[in-house]
Amino acid sequence: MSVPPFGASYTQPLFELIADGNSLINAIISSIYILDYATIYMAVSRYLDPSPILAVDIQENLFNL
């Protein structure tokens, strides 16, 4: 039985992220930074403000009760 590659049925382009690092934790942190910058880039390219975060706003309101 042949298993198709991940994302073979999607029409959107997929990119593979290869994180550099001397250890696993360095690779994880590097990946987080790269993906964070990618989400900011996507928001700005779509003329959206990437700064409002609903979950943080809800948490701040809960602490003010």
**pLDDT exceeds cutoff 50 at 1:** no
By residue count, the chain amounts to: 65
Q: Which domain, by its residues, includes 59?
A: 1-65
Tokens standing for 9? Answer: 């049925």
For residue range 29-61, list pLDDT tens digits in order.
Answer: 988 998 899 999 999 999 988 887 777 667 777
**Number of domains within the chain:** 1
Neighbours of 53 (CB within 10 A): 9
- Read off the DSSP letter of residue 8: T
C-alpha–C-alpha distance, residues 24 and 31, integer Å: 11
Q: For residues 60 and 1, which has the higher predicted lDDT (pLDDT)?
A: 60
Residues contacting 40, CB < 8 A, separation 6+: 50
Q: What is the pLDDT of residue 22?
A: 87
**pLDDT exceeds cutoff 50 at 23:** yes
Q: What is the pLDDT of residue 46?
A: 93
